[in-house]
Protein backbone atom coordinates (compact mmCIF):
# COMPACT_ATOMS: atom_id res chain seq x y z
CA UNK A 1 0.00 0.00 0.00
CA UNK A 2 3.08 2.25 -0.28
CA UNK A 3 3.03 3.01 3.45
CA UNK A 4 6.12 3.84 5.49
CA UNK A 5 7.34 1.51 8.24
CA UNK A 6 8.08 2.64 11.78
CA UNK A 7 9.73 0.91 14.73
CA UNK A 8 10.23 1.65 18.42
CA UNK A 9 13.11 1.50 20.89
CA UNK A 10 14.39 3.33 23.97
CA UNK A 11 17.54 5.20 25.01
CA UNK A 12 17.77 2.98 28.07
CA UNK A 13 18.30 -0.62 29.16
CA UNK A 14 14.73 -1.62 28.36
CA UNK A 15 11.70 -0.18 26.62
CA UNK A 16 8.80 1.19 28.63
CA UNK A 17 7.16 -2.24 28.26
CA UNK A 18 10.28 -4.03 29.51
CA UNK A 19 11.72 -5.35 26.25
CA UNK A 20 15.42 -5.03 25.35
CA UNK A 21 16.35 -1.51 24.22
CA UNK A 22 19.20 0.26 22.45
CA UNK A 23 21.44 2.08 24.95
CA UNK A 24 24.95 0.76 24.26
CA UNK A 25 23.76 -1.04 21.13
CA UNK A 26 22.96 1.96 18.93
CA UNK A 27 25.10 0.96 15.93
CA UNK A 28 23.97 -2.65 15.73
CA UNK A 29 20.32 -1.64 16.15
CA UNK A 30 20.50 1.19 13.61
CA UNK A 31 22.16 -1.18 11.13
CA UNK A 32 19.38 -3.72 11.62
CA UNK A 33 16.68 -1.05 11.29
CA UNK A 34 18.16 0.10 7.98
CA UNK A 35 18.45 -3.46 6.67
CA UNK A 36 14.79 -4.08 7.51
CA UNK A 37 13.64 -1.05 5.51
CA UNK A 38 12.62 1.06 8.50
CA UNK A 39 11.56 4.64 7.73
CA UNK A 40 10.81 6.04 11.21
CA UNK A 41 12.23 5.42 14.68
CA UNK A 42 10.38 6.48 17.81
CA UNK A 43 13.00 6.54 20.55
CA UNK A 44 11.64 6.53 24.11
CA UNK A 45 13.13 7.52 27.47
CA UNK A 46 12.40 4.69 29.94
CA UNK A 47 14.62 2.54 32.18
CA UNK A 48 17.70 4.74 32.35
CA UNK A 49 20.56 3.13 34.30
CA UNK A 50 21.93 5.04 37.26
CA UNK A 51 25.27 5.79 35.60
CA UNK A 52 23.40 7.54 32.76
CA UNK A 53 21.35 9.90 34.91
CA UNK A 54 22.06 13.65 34.82
CA UNK A 55 23.85 15.86 37.32
CA UNK A 56 20.93 18.30 37.34
CA UNK A 57 17.18 18.20 37.12
CA UNK A 58 15.47 19.97 34.24
CA UNK A 59 12.89 22.71 34.26
CA UNK A 60 9.77 21.55 32.42
CA UNK A 61 6.15 22.36 33.11
CA UNK A 62 5.23 18.68 33.01
CA UNK A 63 6.94 17.69 36.28
CA UNK A 64 4.97 17.35 39.51
CA UNK A 65 7.97 18.36 41.63
CA UNK A 66 8.30 21.84 40.10
CA UNK A 67 6.24 24.91 40.97
CA UNK A 68 5.12 27.01 38.01
CA UNK A 69 4.52 30.74 37.98
CA UNK A 70 1.55 32.28 36.20
CA UNK A 71 3.62 32.67 33.02
CA UNK A 72 4.88 29.08 32.92
CA UNK A 73 8.32 29.66 34.47
CA UNK A 74 9.83 27.13 36.89
CA UNK A 75 10.45 28.86 40.22
CA UNK A 76 11.25 26.23 42.81
CA UNK A 77 11.77 22.49 43.01
CA UNK A 78 11.52 20.08 45.92
CA UNK A 79 14.87 18.63 44.82
CA UNK A 80 17.48 21.43 45.10
CA UNK A 81 19.47 20.19 42.09
CA UNK A 82 17.66 22.26 39.46
CA UNK A 83 20.05 23.13 36.61
CA UNK A 84 21.50 26.65 36.92
CA UNK A 85 20.43 29.34 34.48
CA UNK A 86 22.20 29.00 31.16
CA UNK A 87 23.26 25.39 31.74
CA UNK A 88 24.31 23.70 28.50
CA UNK A 89 22.21 20.56 28.25
CA UNK A 90 24.33 19.35 25.33
CA UNK A 91 26.89 18.38 28.00
CA UNK A 92 24.33 16.16 29.76
CA UNK A 93 23.94 12.38 29.74
CA UNK A 94 20.43 12.79 28.37
CA UNK A 95 21.74 14.59 25.29
CA UNK A 96 24.46 11.95 24.89
CA UNK A 97 21.98 9.06 25.05
CA UNK A 98 19.90 10.47 22.19
CA UNK A 99 22.86 11.81 20.17
CA UNK A 100 24.38 8.31 20.09
CA UNK A 101 21.40 6.97 18.18
CA UNK A 102 21.35 10.07 15.95
CA UNK A 103 24.95 9.37 14.97
CA UNK A 104 24.29 5.65 14.42
CA UNK A 105 21.36 6.42 12.11
CA UNK A 106 23.49 8.92 10.18
CA UNK A 107 25.99 6.15 9.39
CA UNK A 108 23.34 4.14 7.51
CA UNK A 109 22.68 4.28 3.77
CA UNK A 110 18.96 4.74 4.41
CA UNK A 111 17.19 7.86 5.65
CA UNK A 112 15.36 7.07 8.89
CA UNK A 113 13.32 9.82 10.58
CA UNK A 114 14.38 10.12 14.21
CA UNK A 115 11.60 10.96 16.68
CA UNK A 116 12.77 11.71 20.23
CA UNK A 117 10.17 10.60 22.77
CA UNK A 118 11.90 12.65 25.47
CA UNK A 119 8.83 14.10 27.27
CA UNK A 120 10.15 17.69 27.17
CA UNK A 121 13.13 16.83 29.38
CA UNK A 122 16.66 18.27 29.36
CA UNK A 123 15.57 21.47 27.59
CA UNK A 124 15.20 19.50 24.36
CA UNK A 125 13.56 22.57 22.77
CA UNK A 126 17.07 24.07 22.40
CA UNK A 127 18.84 21.06 20.89
CA UNK A 128 16.17 18.77 19.45
CA UNK A 129 16.50 20.29 16.00
CA UNK A 130 20.16 19.21 15.87
CA UNK A 131 19.27 15.65 16.83
CA UNK A 132 15.95 14.52 15.36
CA UNK A 133 13.00 15.49 13.20
CA UNK A 134 10.66 15.80 16.20
CA UNK A 135 10.78 15.71 19.98
CA UNK A 136 8.03 14.98 22.46
CA UNK A 137 7.33 18.14 24.45
CA UNK A 138 5.33 16.60 27.32
CA UNK A 139 4.38 13.38 29.02
CA UNK A 140 1.91 11.05 27.32
CA UNK A 141 -1.44 12.12 25.96
CA UNK A 142 -4.70 10.34 26.85
CA UNK A 143 -8.11 10.21 25.17
CA UNK A 144 -9.72 12.76 27.46
CA UNK A 145 -10.22 16.51 27.45
CA UNK A 146 -7.86 17.50 30.26
CA UNK A 147 -4.99 15.75 28.48
CA UNK A 148 -5.66 17.83 25.37
CA UNK A 149 -5.74 21.15 27.25
CA UNK A 150 -2.69 20.24 29.38
CA UNK A 151 -0.53 19.61 26.32
CA UNK A 152 -1.93 22.61 24.45
CA UNK A 153 -1.12 24.81 27.44
CA UNK A 154 2.50 23.59 27.73
CA UNK A 155 3.13 23.87 24.01
CA UNK A 156 1.81 27.42 23.84
CA UNK A 157 5.01 28.52 25.63
CA UNK A 158 7.32 26.52 23.31
CA UNK A 159 6.15 27.29 19.77
CA UNK A 160 9.35 29.10 18.74
CA UNK A 161 11.03 25.68 18.60
CA UNK A 162 8.94 24.51 15.62
CA UNK A 163 9.74 25.25 11.99
CA UNK A 164 10.90 23.37 8.89
CA UNK A 165 13.89 21.91 10.74
CA UNK A 166 11.84 20.07 13.35
CA UNK A 167 8.69 19.87 15.39
CA UNK A 168 7.42 19.83 18.95
CA UNK A 169 5.62 16.47 19.10
CA UNK A 170 2.39 16.85 21.11
CA UNK A 171 1.95 13.03 20.98
CA UNK A 172 -0.29 10.88 18.81
CA UNK A 173 -3.80 11.86 17.78
CA UNK A 174 -6.62 10.54 19.96
CA UNK A 175 -9.23 11.01 17.22
CA UNK A 176 -11.54 8.00 17.53
CA UNK A 177 -10.39 7.07 21.04
CA UNK A 178 -11.86 7.34 24.54
CA UNK A 179 -14.81 9.53 25.44
CA UNK A 180 -13.83 12.73 23.61
CA UNK A 181 -16.94 14.48 22.31
CA UNK A 182 -17.29 15.62 18.70
CA UNK A 183 -16.37 19.17 19.73
CA UNK A 184 -13.36 18.05 21.78
CA UNK A 185 -12.15 15.79 18.99
CA UNK A 186 -12.11 18.47 16.34
CA UNK A 187 -10.53 20.97 18.73
CA UNK A 188 -7.79 18.42 19.39
CA UNK A 189 -7.14 17.79 15.69
CA UNK A 190 -7.29 21.46 14.71
CA UNK A 191 -4.68 22.50 17.26
CA UNK A 192 -2.34 19.56 16.59
CA UNK A 193 -2.40 20.49 12.89
CA UNK A 194 -2.03 24.21 13.64
CA UNK A 195 0.92 23.58 16.00
CA UNK A 196 2.49 21.45 13.24
CA UNK A 197 2.85 18.50 15.57
CA UNK A 198 3.41 15.22 13.70
CA UNK A 199 -0.09 13.94 12.84
CA UNK A 200 0.15 10.28 13.85
CA UNK A 201 -3.21 8.49 13.80
CA UNK A 202 -3.54 6.59 17.09
CA UNK A 203 -6.75 4.61 16.66
CA UNK A 204 -7.99 1.38 15.06
CA UNK A 205 -8.73 2.40 11.48
CA UNK A 206 -11.25 -0.43 11.07
CA UNK A 207 -13.43 1.20 13.74
CA UNK A 208 -12.97 4.83 12.65
CA UNK A 209 -16.27 6.61 12.04
CA UNK A 210 -16.90 8.51 8.82
CA UNK A 211 -17.16 11.72 10.84
CA UNK A 212 -13.69 11.25 12.30
CA UNK A 213 -12.29 10.10 8.97
CA UNK A 214 -13.59 13.29 7.37
CA UNK A 215 -11.97 15.28 10.18
CA UNK A 216 -8.58 13.64 9.62
CA UNK A 217 -8.88 14.51 5.91
CA UNK A 218 -9.75 18.20 6.44
CA UNK A 219 -8.05 19.86 3.49
CA UNK A 220 -7.55 23.26 5.11
CA UNK A 221 -5.90 21.98 8.28
CA UNK A 222 -3.71 19.48 6.42
CA UNK A 223 -2.61 22.17 3.97
CA UNK A 224 -1.59 24.42 6.87
CA UNK A 225 0.24 21.57 8.62
CA UNK A 226 2.13 20.54 5.46
CA UNK A 227 2.75 24.00 3.96
CA UNK A 228 6.06 23.96 2.06
CA UNK A 229 6.54 27.75 2.12
CA UNK A 230 5.51 28.64 5.69
CA UNK A 231 7.31 26.47 8.26
CA UNK A 232 6.23 28.24 11.45
CA UNK A 233 3.16 27.00 13.37
CA UNK A 234 0.16 28.96 14.55
CA UNK A 235 0.78 30.70 17.88
CA UNK A 236 -1.40 32.42 20.48
CA UNK A 237 -2.09 36.09 19.85
CA UNK A 238 -4.43 36.50 22.84
CA UNK A 239 -5.16 34.27 25.82
CA UNK A 240 -8.83 35.16 26.32
CA UNK A 241 -10.31 34.52 29.76
CA UNK A 242 -6.85 34.55 31.33
CA UNK A 243 -4.32 37.38 30.99
CA UNK A 244 -1.78 36.81 28.24
CA UNK A 245 0.99 34.31 29.05
CA UNK A 246 -0.99 32.70 31.88
CA UNK A 247 -0.03 29.09 32.61
CA UNK A 248 -3.30 27.17 33.07
CA UNK A 249 -3.57 23.48 32.06
CA UNK A 250 -7.39 23.64 32.18
CA UNK A 251 -7.85 26.94 30.33
CA UNK A 252 -5.06 27.45 27.77
CA UNK A 253 -4.66 30.27 25.28
CA UNK A 254 -7.89 30.67 23.30
CA UNK A 255 -6.94 32.78 20.25
CA UNK A 256 -4.33 31.44 17.81
CA UNK A 257 -3.24 32.42 14.29
CA UNK A 258 -0.60 31.52 11.75
CA UNK A 259 0.29 32.35 8.17
CA UNK A 260 0.18 30.00 5.18
CA UNK A 261 0.18 30.07 1.39
CA UNK A 262 -3.63 29.99 1.48
CA UNK A 263 -4.09 32.74 4.04
CA UNK A 264 -4.08 33.15 7.81
CA UNK A 265 -5.48 30.29 9.87
CA UNK A 266 -7.37 31.57 12.92
CA UNK A 267 -8.56 29.31 15.75
CA UNK A 268 -10.77 30.42 18.64
CA UNK A 269 -11.15 27.92 21.49
CA UNK A 270 -13.86 27.76 24.15
CA UNK A 271 -12.28 25.83 27.07
CA UNK A 272 -15.20 26.46 29.42
CA UNK A 273 -17.20 23.54 30.76
CA UNK A 274 -20.86 23.34 29.77
CA UNK A 275 -21.35 26.88 28.44
CA UNK A 276 -21.09 28.34 24.96
CA UNK A 277 -19.26 31.62 24.32
CA UNK A 278 -19.27 34.24 21.61
CA UNK A 279 -15.80 34.56 20.10
CA UNK A 280 -14.69 37.37 17.81
CA UNK A 281 -11.63 37.57 15.58
CA UNK A 282 -10.59 41.21 15.24
CA UNK A 283 -8.20 41.51 12.33
CA UNK A 284 -6.10 44.30 13.86
CA UNK A 285 -5.25 42.02 16.83
CA UNK A 286 -3.82 39.31 14.56
CA UNK A 287 -0.10 39.82 13.71
CA UNK A 288 -0.47 38.53 10.13
CA UNK A 289 -3.41 40.85 9.38
CA UNK A 290 -4.47 44.46 9.93
CA UNK A 291 -7.46 46.75 9.59
CA UNK A 292 -9.72 46.23 6.60
CA UNK A 293 -11.95 43.58 5.08
CA UNK A 294 -10.85 40.07 4.14
CA UNK A 295 -12.26 37.06 2.36
CA UNK A 296 -13.08 34.42 5.00
CA UNK A 297 -13.63 30.66 4.68
CA UNK A 298 -15.09 28.35 7.34
CA UNK A 299 -12.48 25.63 7.86
CA UNK A 300 -15.05 23.10 9.10
CA UNK A 301 -17.56 23.42 6.27
CA UNK A 302 -15.52 24.95 3.45
CA UNK A 303 -18.16 27.66 3.09
CA UNK A 304 -17.06 31.03 1.74
CA UNK A 305 -18.31 33.49 4.36
CA UNK A 306 -17.67 36.52 2.16
CA UNK A 307 -15.80 39.77 2.67
CA UNK A 308 -15.76 40.53 6.41
CA UNK A 309 -14.43 43.34 8.61
CA UNK A 310 -14.25 40.87 11.53
CA UNK A 311 -15.61 37.43 12.36
CA UNK A 312 -17.68 36.27 15.32
CA UNK A 313 -19.25 32.93 16.17
CA UNK A 314 -21.06 31.21 19.01
CA UNK A 315 -18.67 28.46 20.07
CA UNK A 316 -19.93 25.47 22.07
CA UNK A 317 -18.18 24.19 25.17
CA UNK A 318 -14.79 22.64 24.30
CA UNK A 319 -15.29 23.47 20.61
CA UNK A 320 -13.16 25.68 18.35
CA UNK A 321 -14.14 28.12 15.63
CA UNK A 322 -11.73 27.72 12.72
CA UNK A 323 -11.45 30.10 9.77
CA UNK A 324 -9.04 30.83 6.95
CA UNK A 325 -8.61 34.56 6.31
CA UNK A 326 -7.58 35.23 2.72
CA UNK A 327 -6.97 38.33 0.63
CA UNK A 328 -8.16 41.81 1.37
CA UNK A 329 -11.30 42.76 -0.49
Active-site residue numbers? 44, 140
Number of H helices, E strands in the chain: 7, 15
- Cβ neighbours for 138, distance < 8 A, ≥ 6 positions apart: 61, 62, 119, 120, 150, 151, 154, 155, 170, 171
Say how far apart CA 273 and CA 270 lie, in whole Å. Answer: 9
Say how far apart CA 148 and CA 249 lie, in whole Å. Answer: 9
For residues 191-204, one letter each, b for 16 or more C-beta atoms within 10 angstroms of the residue's C-beta and e for the rest, the string is bbbbbbbbbeeebe
Picking from 305, 324, 328, 298, the residue whose alpha carbon sits closest to that of residue 224 is: 324
Backbone phi and psi for residue 304, each to the nearest 5 degrees, phi listed first: -80, 115
- Per the rule left: phi > 0, alpha: psi between -120 and 50, beta: everything else, 119 is left
Say how far apart CA 285 and CA 123 lie, in whole Å. Answer: 31
Amino acid sequence: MNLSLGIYSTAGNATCAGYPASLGYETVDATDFASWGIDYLKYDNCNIPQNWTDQYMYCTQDRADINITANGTCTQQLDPDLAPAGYDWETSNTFDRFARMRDALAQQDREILFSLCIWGYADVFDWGNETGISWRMSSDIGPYWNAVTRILNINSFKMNSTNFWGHNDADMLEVGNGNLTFEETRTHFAFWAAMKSPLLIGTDLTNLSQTNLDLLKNEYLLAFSQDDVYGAPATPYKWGANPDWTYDPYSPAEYWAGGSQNGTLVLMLNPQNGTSETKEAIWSEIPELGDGQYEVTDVWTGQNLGCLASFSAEVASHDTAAILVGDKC
